[in-house]
Amino acid sequence: MPVAEHVLAHAAERPSRLAVRGPGGELTYAQLADRVKGAARHLAETGAGPGTTAAIGLADPVELLVAVLAADLAGATPLVGEHTWDRARWAAVTGPLTAATGSLSAVTGPLAAVTGPSATVPAGEPAPHATRPADRRTPAAPPVAVLIDAPLPYAAGPDVPRRAQPGDLAWACFSSGSTGRPRAIVRTRASWTDSYPHLNALTGIGPDDVVLIPGPLVSSLYAFAALHTLATGATALLPGRWPGGALADHLAEATVVHLVPHRLPDVLERPGALRVAVVGGAALAPGARQAAEKAGVRVVAYYGATELSFVAADTDGSGLRPFPEVEIEVRGDGPLGEVWVRSPWLAEGYLGEAAGPLRRDGDGWVSVGDVAEPYHKEGGLRVRGRGDGAIQTGGATVVPEDVEEVLRKVPGVADAVVVGTPHPSLESVVTAVIESPFGEPPARALLEEAARAALDWAQRPRRWYAMSGLPRTPTGKPARAQVAARLADGDPAIRRLV
């Protein structure tokens, strides 16, 4: 069932219930339903529908969500991008794009079809499918792309005919990972919407909640949160980005928040009406759950990826357990193996010819290269990061997240990124970049003392740097590849600690 149809149902049952509030205004469910129906009519009248990808770049989060739901109702596949992208940037993702603006005066231009995994599986694993797996539906005809870069008009008229199916390629979203290079990932309707009841059961989110979504909807983490909120019938607070000084005002009425771990301490300072924090995108910092309990906030942490959706969740601090209907394997014989997943929540593949880490075997299992400790069903899943971020140094393999977890405990460290930098004989050396936005970073001697106390010899950073603010991806993760590139370029904003 399209999320837009959920909105229409809520509008019939609770028309005056506030649906969305953003920087530019708010809409009740009745108002949102009217806007979405009118905009969907406009899309349908101009040719957008099944087989169409709607590339949406709007600054206002409420207008953006109206366009997303209108595309959903019309049967098109919404793809949210940055409102600052020009047509050339969009075309680099979608292929040739000649459909116009929010007026949609024309709908033309072939869009490269969805492709399956482009990488090969490790030695000894079955070969992946070259394109989309045989058990997954292939579009009958090449889709077209339309660009929506202005608020959609909405006009009265008959309802848009709807013939939605769970297997429709109904959602597309971007993943930048820690590299900052976005790729578009396409998924079926059911692979998102059928997980909503499970998330409600794990978090207790219901139609009477007010949900703060404090980030850009170009992030799949925040886009999923917004759509789930509206499908549930709750109220979505959409500041469009981190609200900064307005955070306390939002928390005075929000009962739920979706966010990334490094934002949790800000929320806990003045939790207001908050009762649940749904945290994803990275591992929780040590002590974060205990701090939340003291503030009266329940934390539901989860692990997943844009390609995989939910994989595991920790609702009580006992560790990550498989999300409902998910199977997990950690493959490998060493202290760390590669995480493989089989579930109904998996994406179909990448848009166009984009390369990405998604790989499949012949039995429906999928991996994006994350590594974890050996996993047994009776124990929790301990994810150690993305395998392709591992540092090879002097014959040893170092997982950056293990080092970062230790460094974040040092007083004065707001966050940390660990990368490998070239070394003539060791291949790479472990290099730490400390974020210290409010003053001088800790002394190098203090950092080295913490590293000696908690890390093996090979894991300890040999080079130390500091900067006031780490570059981040749209989801809030430190952009590891950007940090490495800026180090290599000698960026003067990154100061060597001696």
Long-range Cβ contacts of 423-427 (<8 Å, 24+ apart) = 423/393, 426/393, 426/394, 427/392, 427/393, 427/394
Average pLDDT over residues 64-81: 94
Reported as a pLDDT band with limits 50, 70 and 90, residue 254 is: very high
Task: Give how far Cα 312 sits from Cα of 103, 308, 325, 384, Å.
Answer: 42, 11, 10, 14
Expressed in angstroms, the distance from the first to the final Cα of the chain is 59
Instruction: Check whether 231 has a pLDDT greater than 90.
Output: yes
Instruction: Check whether 218 has a pLDDT greater than 60.
Output: yes
Residue 28, amino acid: T
Residues 107, 46 contacting (CB under 8 angstroms): yes
In terms of pLDDT, which residue wins out, 435 or 94?
435
Task: Give how far Cα 226 sits from Cα of 24, 218, 290, 326, 372, Å.
Answer: 17, 11, 27, 23, 30
Q: How far apart are CA 63 and CA 83, in angstroms?
A: 12
Domain ranges of the chain: 3-372, 390-496
Burial class of residue 5, CB neighbours in 10 A (0-12, 13-18, 19+): middle
**Percentage of the chain surpassing pLDDT 70?**
88
Reported as a pLDDT band with limits 50, 70 and 90, residue 95 is: low
pLDDT digit string, tens, across residues 425-443: 777 899 999 998 877 899 9
Domains 3-372 and 390-496 share a fold: no
Note the pLDDT of residue 378.
78
Fold of 390-496: GMP Synthetase; Chain A, domain 3 (3.30.300)
Note the pLDDT of residue 379.
82
Note the pLDDT of residue 333.
82
pLDDT digit string, tens, across residues 350-386: 887 677 788 999 899 999 988 899 998 878 999 887 7
What number of other Cβ atoms are within 10 A of residue 389's Cβ? 23
Query: What is the DSSP code string of 175-190?
Result: E-TTTT--EEEEE-HH
Instruction: Check whether 128 has a pLDDT greater than 80.
Output: no
Note the pLDDT of residue 181.
52
Average pLDDT over residues 231-256: 96
Task: Give how far Cα 448 sits from Cα of 347, 454, 467, 484, Å.
Answer: 42, 10, 17, 21
Among 39-43, 203-207, 220-224, 330-334, the range scoring the smallest mean pLDDT is: 330-334
Two tokens, residue 251: 């928390």
Which of helix, strand or coil describes residue 21? Answer: strand
Reported as a pLDDT band with limits 50, 70 and 90, residue 113 is: very low
Residue position matching structure tokens 């002097």: 394
Instruction: Check whether 102 has a pLDDT greater than 80.
Output: no
Residues in the chain: 498
Q: How far apart are CA 49 and CA 38, in angstroms?
A: 14
Q: How far apart are CA 112 and CA 110, in angstroms?
A: 7
Instruction: Check whether 18 has a pLDDT greater than 80.
Output: yes
Q: How far apart are CA 280 and CA 460, in angstroms?
A: 27
CATH among 3.40.50.1220, 3.40.50.12780, 3.30.70.1230, 3.90.228.20 for 3-372: 3.40.50.12780
The secondary structure of residue 171, as a DSSP letter, is E
Note the pLDDT of residue 96.
56
Instruction: Check whether 133 has a pLDDT greater than 60.
Output: no
Instruction: Check whether 331 has a pLDDT greater than 70.
Output: yes
Instruction: Check whether 314 has a pLDDT greater than 70.
Output: yes
Average pLDDT over residues 234-260: 96
Instruction: Check whether 215 has a pLDDT greater than 70.
Output: yes
Note the pLDDT of residue 47.
81
Residues 171, 189 contacting (CB under 8 angstroms): yes
In terms of pLDDT, which residue wins out, 343 or 383?
343
Average pLDDT over residues 318-343: 93
Q: What is the mean pLDDT of the chain?
A: 85
**Percentage of the chain surpassing pLDDT 90?**
58
Two tokens, residue 478: 């430190």
Residues 47, 132 contacting (CB under 8 angstroms): no
Reported as a pLDDT band with limits 50, 70 and 90, residue 58 is: very high
Instruction: Check whether 458 has a pLDDT greater than 60.
Output: yes
DSSP-derived pairing of the beta strands 18-22 and 25-28: antiparallel
Instruction: Check whether 249 has a pLDDT greater than 90.
Output: yes
pLDDT digit string, tens, across residues 181-190: 567 899 999 9
CA angle 358, 124, 325 (to 5 degrees): 50
Among 138-142, 412-416, 474-478, the range scoring the smallest mean pLDDT is: 138-142
Does the predicted TM-score (pTM) go above 0.85?
A: no
Q: How far apart are CA 193 and CA 164, in angstroms?
A: 13
The secondary structure of residue 402, as a DSSP letter, is H
In terms of pLDDT, which residue wins out, 122 or 480?
480
Residues 83, 59 contacting (CB under 8 angstroms): yes
Among 89-98, 250-259, 312-321, 474-483, the range scoring the smallest mean pLDDT is: 89-98
In terms of pLDDT, which residue wins out, 155 or 202?
202
Instruction: Check whether 97 has a pLDDT greater than 80.
Output: no
Instruction: Check whether 26 has a pLDDT greater than 90.
Output: yes
Note the pLDDT of residue 353.
64
Average pLDDT over residues 301-320: 94
Reported as a pLDDT band with limits 50, 70 and 90, residue 406 is: very high
User: How many secondary structure helices (H) and strands (E) does the chain include?
Assistant: 13, 28
Instruction: Check whether 115 has a pLDDT greater than 70.
Output: no
In terms of pLDDT, which residue wins out, 414 or 377?
414
Dihedral angle sign, alpha carbons of residues 43, 48, 50, 55:
negative
